[in-house]
Structure 1
Amino acid sequence: MRAIFILLFILASNLLPLKAQDSIALHYSRLLSTKQIKTDLIILSSDIMEGRETGSNGQKLAARYIYQQFVKAGIKNFTSTTDSLGYFQNFAIYKKEQATANVEAYGKTFTNYNDLLLSGFTDYSNKSMDLIFLGTAPDSSYINKDFSEKAVLFLSSNLYAAAIKSNDIVMASQAKLVLFCNPNQTNQYTELLEKRKAISPQGMNLKSEINSNFNPYDSINDHQSFIRYKNRMHTYQGAISNATASALLQIKTKRLKQILKKKKLKQNEQKINQFAFNFSLEYNEVETENVFAFLPGTEKKEEVLVVSAHYDHIGKNETQIFNGANDNASGTATILEVARKFQLARNNGHTTKRSILFIAFTGEEKGLFGSKYFVDNSPVSLSNIIGNLNVDMLGRTDQFNDTTNYIYLLGTNHLQPKLKVISDSINQISANLKLDYKYDTPDNYLYRASDQASFVKHNIPAIFYFNGIHADYHRASDTADKIDFEAINRVSQLIFLTAWELANE
């Protein structure tokens, strides 16, 4: 392997001058512009981008900005042209809309987001469904019972706690539909209803290019998770209003309060009632896009290093914009500036042996959709991708650090251990950061939490650069004024030199 950074130790000892090619890398790494990183980050996290939720207008504005920066820097697309279409990898996701549901009984119809707050995963209809009243649902009322294709209703003094009890009932009894209400506090249902109405549906699934028949369970690809949740996939749960409970059970609200207090049912209150139940989901197709830029190599042009960051975030609600300055306008600004300096070096005749593909991924917040789509539909053979450097959340501190002069590295000890040697060596003559490897184990959940996971799944070595979780994570308070831009520049130097080494070794 080349010496940029075995020679670093020699350089430190003043025994030999740095090799010419390596001094070139250092030169361009030191040209990385804090000012430009700041400009990109502030624009990407501005209110005009509306939180960059996947498929939204704000996300598409951000995609266009990224594309424009690549073009402005003179970096071509994957087809080595400046045709705008060549900078985008378009794909579709399915966005789950609010469920339509209704219950019909005794000549009345009760509807979702009014009388009911039901959730579920699939369409279902039953014209004559048995309803079993469990009172306050002691364990003896549902454990070792088989309520398959039946509905149960129970009372609780806390609707939030009742949701947990509802899961227990489903798992223990196979109940198809679980309803719960709090007859003591009408306002609790009202508050829950208003909260649910205010939250736009966030559920999304990646559209399969192999099978056009959409399956909402496609995203549950872990076998253990599938086993754990298989009993809940075809079930429906939720709170209902007191008036709805009273009508379905044919028991007055006053009596429901007594039952909740005394925890006892009369014999005639244990009869099985019946109603009609209908539940349906709508999935709207939403178009979104990854953004590419490509620097072809020379001697090993077919071999490709991927440098990536996700540019999407979680969007906005009626009152707030979740700007996502740290998550992940910071990473996007980083790869843009690293790409510029590679192109500047190229303009001056300093090419790399291997090719470098810069990718800004969308859909990360929804389940790594952009990177999953890329590896499944890559314009480059996966066997030719030599590694991935992925950047997510820079320029802040977490609970373990009181300065920004550090970076967590994940993946360096997994598929390609030399990545740790390279990182340590480069760091000594560049940013001189504290390289923290505390999360650098293959089983750490953070290693699976960003887009490098999509590459690792295909045994492609990766480094994940990350500053940790902080109190503003996924909050409207994740804003640009809290970012240390010089800290991002220091990490950018480490990333630039690591990319240079991997592209030239």
Structure 2
Amino acid sequence: MKTIFSILVSSAWCVCFSQQVDIAKKYSAYINEVDLKKNLTILASDSYLGRETGKEGQKMTAEFLSAYFQKLGCSFAPGMTGYEQHFDVIESTPGGTMSLNNLALDFKKDFIYYACKSKTNLENIPVYGVDQLPKVGETPCYVIYVMKSLEVRKEVSVLKKQLSKNVKGIILVSKDYSTLYEYMDHYVTTKTMYLADEKKKEEFPILFVRDSSMLSLKNKSNNYLFGKGKFKETEHPKPLFILNGQLNTQQEKLTSSNVLAYIEGSDPVGSKEVVIITAHYDHIGVDHGVVYNGADDDGTGTVALLELAEAFMEAKKNGQGPKRSVLIMPVSGEEKGLLGSDYYSSHPIIPLENTVADLNIDMIGRNDIGHEKDTNYIYIIGSNMLSNDLHDANERVNTKYTQLKLDYKFNSLSDPNQFYYRSDHYNFAKHDIPVIFYFSGVHEDYHQPTDDVEKIIFSKVEKVARLVFFTAWEISDASKRITLNR
């Protein structure tokens, strides 16, 4: 009898599971490449001005998304009176002044800088050579060093590891400043943003100075001995120079927004928990009159969210939606430093402890160089970093439904590209919320004005979006919440 009873229970469970699976498959059909192409053709057109955070194109896009969610019948997130969660950002225009002793240096002509977004005053700061560093606990200072190569990251990384905590910045003297400027142009002359309400973070400015601009400061005793000696701390050394100046003197406050579409779960208890699905709808705007449409980055993720919202809403309208709630959230500010997702994670509409997972979609419409002739793949990043349950669910539904090649090449904390840290899922992962980042890789049109709709493989976008849907359905309708790894 025990055996027969076990078989009956097992069979009943399989039937129930099969029915649920069939429901998910039924509603996945609402995700189709015709609608994906129709919506992307709108959002990645020149009229949307590259969707830059805080600018007209981004606001137009937020209005389009809100209207779309309203048409689908999506609810406002709990406690909200509209679809948009607004936040302020500060836009900094690179520029400023700098002087060493009494020698004034001109921005761009004589010096540039990076790793500094906020307005910064440099007032009577002592500057030392690396062979005469002050000991820890002495006056905050800068260090000056002659660059040995144009490998900026490597030079800075080596230096920072050997400097004491009272060193607050570095001045790198370049003998090939013109080449350096050409290499660094995008990073040091492009406007930057940060959240207006974030606590001021201690920045570590890196200033680059043209060697020939400092001729008048050379003499026999300090003829660039700095940078050639060994790293050495000494008692109360005499500074080589006194640094004065201001960085990021021109700043402007702008308003941006995340767009939240809420689909309440069917279970009275389970609906308090939520599965969030994100993609960033911003791009880099207009540069020198050229619109950067960002069709793949991340227009593909954005229009996938619209299809996902429709699929879940149709299930809800028919009384067949999953137990837990689903929050579809296009975020902005990703291109400026993951600002929108950062704002949401520090100002959550639904408590983070009730957030089951974040499934993040960023660039799913092209092939990278490693898969030039194969569209049937997607990079999976972060799936097992925090929860093996999430990883297994994604694998399980892919095997059953989509049969994509799940490529884990970049699923590592030591990945030199650091993709795990470079999209919006990370602002959930840092709060111990399990994540998956769906990504098809970088291609030749990445951050170029040629990232256009004509190059998108919509059959691929459809298939990846369906994988996200099945994974979201699986974890939102499961009897038990996915758990964190130990």
Q: TM-score range by the shorter chain?
A: 0.7 to 0.9
* TM-score of the superposed pair, with normalisation by structure 1: 0.73
Q: What is the TM-score when the length of structure 2 is the normalising length? A: 0.76
CA distance in 2, matches of 1:181, 1:22: 62
- Quickly say closer, same or farther: Cα 1:92–1:425, change in 2 above 3 A: same
1:245 corresponds to which residue?
214
Give runs of aligned pairs for residues 155-170 of structure 1, distance below 5 A.
160=150
Amino acid at match of 1:245: M
Are 1:205 and 2:175 an aligned pair? no
Contact 1:116 1:241 in 2 (8 A): no
Q: CA contact under 8 A between 2:326 and 2:476: conserved in structure 1?
A: yes
Question: Taking structure 1 as reference, are residues 33 and 115 closer, same or farther at Cα in structure 2, changes over 3 Å only?
Answer: same
Deviates more, 1:145-154 or 1:92-101: 145-154
Q: Which residue of 2 aligns with 1:302?
A: 272
Measure, in 1, the Cα distance between the counterparts of 2:157 and 2:475: 49
Worse overlay, 328-337 or 284-293: 284-293
Q: Distance in 2 between matches of 1:194 and 1:425?
A: 45
Cα RMSD over matched residues? 4.0
Residue pairs, 1:22-37, within 5 angstroms = 22-37=21-36
Alignment CA distance shift 1:101-1:331 (3 Å): same
Change (3 A) 1:102 1:322: same
1:302–1:100: structure 2 CA closer, same or farther, 3 Å change rule? same
Q: Which amino acid aligns with 2:107?
A: N
Q: CA deviation at 1:411?
A: 3.2
Provide the residue aligned with 1:338 in structure 2.
308
Residues 162 and 180, structure 1, Cα contact 8 Å, conserved in 2: no
Q: Is the Cα contact below 8 Å between 1:393 and 1:466 reproduced in 2?
A: yes
Residue 289 (structure 1) shift: 0.9
Preserved contact between residue 302 and residue 355 of structure 1 (Cα < 8 Å): yes
Answer yes or no: is the 8 Å Cα contact 2:271–2:325 preserved in 1: yes
Matches within 5 A, 1:411-430: 411-430=382-401
| CA deviation profile, 1:124-147 (whole Å, cap 9, x unmatched) | 123xx8899xxxxxxxx8535559
Which letter does structure 1 place at the counterpart of 2:455?
K
Match in the other structure for 2:296: 326
1:443–1:355 Cα change, 3 Å: farther
User: Cα–Cα, structure 1 residues 181 and 502, in superposed 2: closer, same or farther, change >3 Å?
Assistant: closer
> In 1, are the aligned partners of 2:90 and 2:195 still within 8 Å (CA)?
yes
What is the identity percentage for the equivalent residue pairs of Structure 1 and Structure 2?
30
What are structure 2's unaligned runs of at least 5 residues?
1-10, 229-238, 479-486
What corresponds to 1:61 in structure 2? 60
Q: Is the 8 A contact 2:111 2:207 kept in 1?
A: no
Contact 1:130 1:275 in 2 (8 A): yes
SS at structure 1 position matched to 2:287:
coil
Match of 2:77 in 1: 78
Contact 1:113 1:193 in 2 (8 A): no
Higher-Rg structure is 1
1:215 aligns with 2:200: yes
Q: Which residue of 2 aligns with 1:92?
A: 88
Matches within 5 A, 1:262-273: none
2:48 paired with 1:49 = yes
Q: 1:110 to 1:362 in 2, by over 3 A?
A: same
1:425 shift after superposition? 3.0
The residue type paired with residue 95 of structure 1 is E
Give me the whole-angstrom Cα distance separating, in 1, the residues matched to 2:106 and 2:179.
Answer: 15
Equivalent pairs counted in the alignment come to 438
The question of whether the paired residues in 2 share the 8 Å contact of 1:308 and 1:361 is answered with: yes
Distance in 2 between the 1:437 and 1:198 partners?
A: 29
Structure 1: distance between partners of 2:412 and 2:157: 33
1:448 and 1:152 map into 2 onto residues whose CA distance is: 29
Q: Using the TM superposition, name which of 467-476 and 334-343 deviates more.
A: 467-476
Q: Is the 8 A contact 1:388 1:455 kept in 2?
A: yes
Aligned CA distance change for structure 1 residues 166 and 302 (closer, same or farther; 3 Å): closer
Report deviation, 1:197: 9.7
Contact 2:114 2:187 in 1 (8 A): no
Contact 2:30 2:307 in 1 (8 A): no
49-58 or 385-394, which deviates more: 49-58
Name 1:229's counterpart in structure 2: none
* Partners of 1:297 and 1:356 within 8 A in 2: yes
CA contact (8 A) 1:423 1:498 kept: yes
Helix, strand or coil at the partner of 1:503: helix
| Structure 2 residue 456 is the aligned partner of structure 1 residue 483 | yes
Residue in 1 that maps onto 2:107: 112
* Amino acid corresponding to residue 344 of structure 1 in structure 2: E
- Counterpart-to-counterpart distance in 2, 1:78 and 1:152: 50
The answer to whether structure 1 residue 143 and structure 2 residue 131 are counterparts is yes
Counterparts of residues 73-472 of structure 1 (less than 5 Å): 73-79=72-78, 86-103=82-99, 110-117=105-112, 121=116, 122-126=120-124, 142-144=130-132, 160=150, 178=171, 180=173, 182=175, 189=178, 192=181, 196=185, 200-208=189-197, 214-217=199-202, 233=204, 237-240=207-210, 242=212, 244-246=213-215, 277-282=244-249, 283-299=251-267, 300-318=270-288, 320-401=290-371, 402-441=373-412, 444=415, 445-472=418-445
Q: Residues 264 and 271 of structure 2 are in contact (CA less than 8 Å); yes or no, is this contact kept in structure 1?
A: yes
Letter in 1 for 2:94: Q
Match of 2:39 in 1: 40
Q: Which amino acid aligns with 2:272?
A: E
Identify which range, 368-377 or 44-53, moves more after superposition.
44-53
